[in-house]
């Protein structure tokens, strides 16, 4: 059994460490660095459709839904198409409105999630075009869709999704660049720089994952926490949600992901010296704002674990624990910021003696409502 897990103790840990390779596999043959573009034949959306759509409507569940939120930010920024993200379980019961010039993106690792299938059927019934973003080839969701964009993560066994998430991110960023180039909202220079940064991500992921021991030490301090708060802004927000989901799925601690700017509307009431707060605060466009949230946590004695950019003196001074990431373009940050959060969840669960690969009450694929 150890051999199946490639020498790792659990499938989840193996899958975390596979991420550089599978992200590379998802990009390979699709990214065109010479022209600053993405090959049309590889993306599941024709150039005509890319130009005609007036809205992108992303629907998914769980971890795939979090990838969708990052996808929204990218598609709006780079392709300037209004984009919404909806939980599939809500869409199906809400009498939703779709238009024939909507591009609906159904994101699903398994391609078999019942709620996501129901949401995409509602969209199709109203004439919208559907793109499946899936990992399992020829599963129900791609079969029911107009086009498919596959992630190449390979089989994912751990119930808590890791490598499928980062490949979904890579695919969504490629798609945003592709749409932006077709629609003329993204010039070749910025497209090339973004794709170049994405291309370099697998190696940077290798570096970050190489620091796993340090994250283990931080996780040790968090083992007995009953509640953990995750804060992020912009592309850090879906990662805060995902960090909290990972932790609750396998460690059974209560965890909440929050948009950093929303802290004052509720979670700030929870902060005291017992509360670990993971703040995603790399040197991106939102840095100053997020640091002021971090200071608010410190002022109330919260324990700050900062996910930050290497060499950031300000963060070193203001937080108790730090995980350092290399400096990268803002667009590709989520592919790095999520890695320490996956590791924290893994180590906390393992230190508690939980069954990491088969957490209680959860299923890998939910084919019932």
CB of 115 to ligand G6P, least distance (A): 8
- HSE at residue 65, side-chain half, CA atoms within 13 A, is 19
CA 226/CA 17 separation, integer angstroms: 27
**What's the gap between Cα 301 and its chain centre?**
29
CA 38/CA 138 separation, integer angstroms: 23
Clarify whether 364 is annotated catalytic: yes
CA 270/CA 101 separation, integer angstroms: 44
Nearer Cβ to ligand G6P, position 30 or 163? 163
CB of 124 to ligand G6P, least distance (A): 17
Q: Which two tokens stand for residue 63?
A: 């971890």
Interacting residue with ligand G6P among 64, 145, 151, 290 (CB under 6 A): 64
Binding residues for ligand G6P restricted to 153-172, rule: CB under 6 A: 159-161
The one catalytic residue among 221, 289, 352, 364: 364
Q: What string marks each residue from 120 to 159 as x (binds ligand G6P by CB under 6 A) or -? A: ---------------------------------------x
From 95-103, 215-223, 291-299, 361-369, give the range in contact with ligand G6P by CB under 6 A: 361-369
Q: Does 309 bind ligand G6P (CB under 6 A)?
A: no
CB of 337 to ligand G6P, least distance (A): 18
Q: Which residues pair with 231 in a beta bridge?
A: 258, 279
Q: Residues 95-98: contacts with CB within 8 Å, 24+ apart?
A: 96/122, 96/123, 97/126, 98/57, 98/122, 98/123, 98/126, 98/127, 98/128
Q: Does 61 bind ligand G6P (CB under 6 A)?
A: yes
269 class by beta-carbon count within 10 Å (0-12 exposed, 13-18 middle, 19+ buried): exposed
Interacting residue with ligand G6P among 5, 55, 329, 364 (CB under 6 A): 364
Q: List the catalytic residues.
A: 364
Binding site for ligand G6P (CB under 6 A): 61-64, 108-110, 113, 116, 159-161, 362, 364-366
């Amino acid at each position: 059994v150890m051999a199946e897990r490639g020498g790792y103790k659990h499938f989840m840990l193996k899958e975390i460490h596979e991420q550089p390779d599978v992200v590379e596999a998802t990009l390979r043959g699709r990214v065109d660095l010479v022209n600053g573009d993405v090959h049309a034949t590889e993306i599941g959306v024709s150039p005509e459709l890319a130009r005609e759509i007036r809205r992108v409507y992303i629907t998914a569940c769980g971890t795939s839904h979090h990838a969708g939120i990052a996808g929204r930010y990218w598609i709006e920024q780079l392709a300037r198409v209004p984009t919404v993200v909806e939980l599939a379980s809500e869409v199906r019961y809400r009498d939703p409105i779709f238009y024939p010039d909507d591009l609906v993106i159904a994101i699903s690792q398994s391609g078999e999630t019942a709620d996501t299938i129901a949401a995409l059927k509602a969209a199709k019934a109203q004439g919208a075009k559907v793109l499946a973003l899936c990992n399992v080839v020829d599963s129900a969701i791609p079969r029911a869709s107009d086009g498919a964009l596959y992630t190449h993560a390979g089989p994912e066994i751990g119930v808590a999704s890791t490598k499928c998430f980062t490949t979904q991110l890579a695919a969504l960023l490629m798609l945003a660049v592709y749409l932006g180039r077709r629609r003329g909202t993204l010039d070749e220079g910025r497209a090339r720089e973004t794709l170049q940064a994405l291309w370099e991500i697998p190696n940077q992921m290798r570096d970050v994952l190489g620091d796993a021991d340090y994250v283990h030490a931080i996780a040790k301090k968090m083992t007995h926490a009953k509640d953990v708060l995750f804060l992020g802004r912009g592309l850090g927000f879906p990662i805060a949600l995902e960090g909290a989901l990972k932790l609750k799925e396998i460690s059974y601690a209560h965890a909440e992901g929050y948009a950093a700017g929303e802290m004052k509307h509720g979670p700030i009431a929870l902060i005291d010296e017992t509360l670990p707060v993971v703040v995603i605060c790399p040197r991106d466009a939102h840095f100053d704002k997020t640091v002021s949230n971090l200071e608010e946590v410190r002022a109330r004695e919260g324990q700050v674990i900062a996910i930050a950019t290497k060499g950031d003196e300000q963060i070193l001074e203001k937080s108790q624990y730090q995980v350092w990431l290399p400096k990268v373009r803002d667009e590709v940050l989520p592919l790095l910021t999520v890695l320490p959060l996956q590791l924290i969840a893994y180590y906390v669960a393992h230190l508690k003696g939980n069954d990491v690969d088969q957490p209680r009450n959860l299923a890998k694929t939910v084919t019932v409502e």
